[in-house]
Chains A and B, each alone.
Chain A
């Protein structure tokens, strides 16, 4: 077994304590699903972990019926997200995607915030949350910033968070009619994820997993030329699940079927 190097533990009772503690060598820690293996491989060597699991402000799931949003704390696990009745009611596509993240063990401990902040491109939640128009609240001791998901995630394994910031929550508008999420997956992470919001007027297409970060296009319904340009312009990854051409073919086929534009 890989033995982890010596590690300090900061258990923050509230958000202010956590914000005072996090830093370059003090890593925010919740589910540990990504951080513990990364430490085992020597990719991350924090002096201490700042445990966020006891910070109540990061654990809520709250509905704003008037504003039509659900605010999800960053330390909410995938299992709690997928099993929560309010999420199932107002964000059914997100609940369904969360119920199929990784495997049943990852869903026990892995968190929404951890998933977004690790910024592994092959993620379902980033794609679905971008499609839903979610807003991330990011805090430091100095104040708050509010970011779209594609402003939070800026590249593969890269976010716009500074070392003294913590992702607090994501606020997600209620799911619009005509939304779907589909993924191609043969290993523990998705190869390609596609979130669609299709109405009589508009096609909103969000592609994730095969791109460095989730990428969204808003097209007039029926704009097949614009859709083709979007698909052709995507920079798709080349990895053990297949080359870019293969992923682009699968993406085209899925879109033709889902949008009813089969040639």
Chain B
């Protein structure tokens, strides 16, 4: 096969925050570019572009991924959740509430990434302990260096969600 035969764009069909998306995208397009530039979802930030800082985190089929280092063509057939998809109307997601109540943000640039990592963790590991929380959040950077309130927020959200799950199971 020669290079000229390989198509340089492809159709992607997926759900973004529950909404149907069908688009012809260039193969070189990253998920972050699709979300920010084509869908106007600028809550997802971009910084290091090396999978290190975590500000670009979104969930794809429930798994956290770096949207800056993932190609949009890989979204075909997936469910994508960004920070814009968390709140229900004016009701914030419990993780967002916990970040507010714990003052877990300063400049706020890293916050969407931390929140999506926390949602990804607690959705799959509702019983996450401090070691799990630290290991997951260790993959994100906050240059205001307010890490303790972030850990507190995720811990608070974890216990809140555990309590809600227990209540629902009663």
Q: In chain B between 68 and 90, which residues have their CB closer than 8 angstroms to a CB of chain A? A: 68-71, 73-74
Could you tell me the distance between the alpha carbons of A1 and B70 in the complex, rounded to whole angstroms? 13
Q: Say yes or no for A102: interface residue by CB 8 A criterion.
A: yes
Q: Is the CB of B70 within 8 A of A103?
A: no
Q: Is the CB of A32 within 8 A of B74?
A: yes
Closest chain A residue to B57, Cβ basis: A105
Q: Which residues of A contact B28 (CB under 8 A)?
A: 3-7
Q: Say yes or no for B164: interface residue by CB 8 A criterion.
A: no
Q: Say yes or no for B63: interface residue by CB 8 A criterion.
A: yes
Q: Say yes or no for B169: interface residue by CB 8 A criterion.
A: no
Q: Say yes or no for B24: interface residue by CB 8 A criterion.
A: no
Q: Is the CB of A2 within 8 A of B49?
A: yes
Count of chain A to chain B residue pairs whose CB atoms are closer than 8 Å in the complex = 107
Q: Say yes or no for A188: interface residue by CB 8 A criterion.
A: yes
Q: Say yes or no for A149: interface residue by CB 8 A criterion.
A: no
Of A20-28, A66-74, A192-200, which stretch is located at the interface?
A: A20-28
Q: Say yes or no for B95: interface residue by CB 8 A criterion.
A: no
B39-78 contact mask (Cβ, 8 Å, vs A): 1 or 0: 0000000100111101001001001111011110110000
Q: How far, in Å, is B1 (CB) from chain A's closest CB?
A: 5
| A32-B69, A103-B54, A105-B51 given; A8·B27 CB < 8 A | yes
Main secondary structure of the interface of B (DSSP, over half): mixed
Q: Say yes or no for A10: interface residue by CB 8 A criterion.
A: yes
Q: Is the CB of B6 within 8 A of A105?
A: no
Q: Is the CB of B3 within 8 A of A8?
A: yes
Interface size class of A (residues with CB under 8 A): 20 to 34
A182-195 contact mask (Cβ, 8 Å, vs B): 1 or 0: 00000010000000
Q: Which residues of B contact A2 (CB under 8 A)?
A: 49
Q: Which residues of B contact A33 (CB under 8 A)?
A: 51, 66, 69
Q: Is the CB of B30 within 8 A of A36?
A: yes
Could you tell me the distance between the alpha carbons of A5 and B28 in the complex, rounded to whole angstroms? 7
B2-24 contact mask (Cβ, 8 Å, vs A): 1 or 0: 01011110100000000000000
Identify the interface centre among B33, B63, B71: most chain A CB within 10 Å of its CB. Answer: B71
Q: Is the CB of A104 within 8 A of B121?
A: yes
Could you tell me the distance between the alpha carbons of A56 and B31 in the complex, rounded to whole angstroms? 24
Identify the interface centre among A1, A2, A9, A103: most chain B CB within 10 Å of its CB. Answer: A103
Q: Which residues of B contact A88 (CB under 8 A)?
A: none
Q: Is the CB of A104 within 8 A of B136?
A: yes
Q: Say yes or no for A53: interface residue by CB 8 A criterion.
A: yes
A223-247 contact mask (Cβ, 8 Å, vs B): 1 or 0: 0000000000000000000000000
Q: Say yes or no for A106: interface residue by CB 8 A criterion.
A: yes
Q: List 28 A-B contacts (CB under 8 A).
A: A1-B30, A1-B68, A2-B49, A4-B29, A7-B8, A8-B6, A9-B8, A9-B10, A9-B27, A10-B6, A26-B6, A32-B71, A32-B74, A37-B69, A40-B69, A49-B71, A102-B139, A103-B51, A103-B52, A104-B64, A104-B117, A104-B120, A105-B57, A105-B65, A105-B139, A106-B139, A108-B63, A188-B139
Which B residues form the contact surface with A (CB < 8 A)?
Answer: 1, 3, 5-8, 10, 26-30, 32-33, 46, 49-52, 54, 57, 60, 63-66, 68-71, 73-74, 117, 120-121, 135-136, 138-140
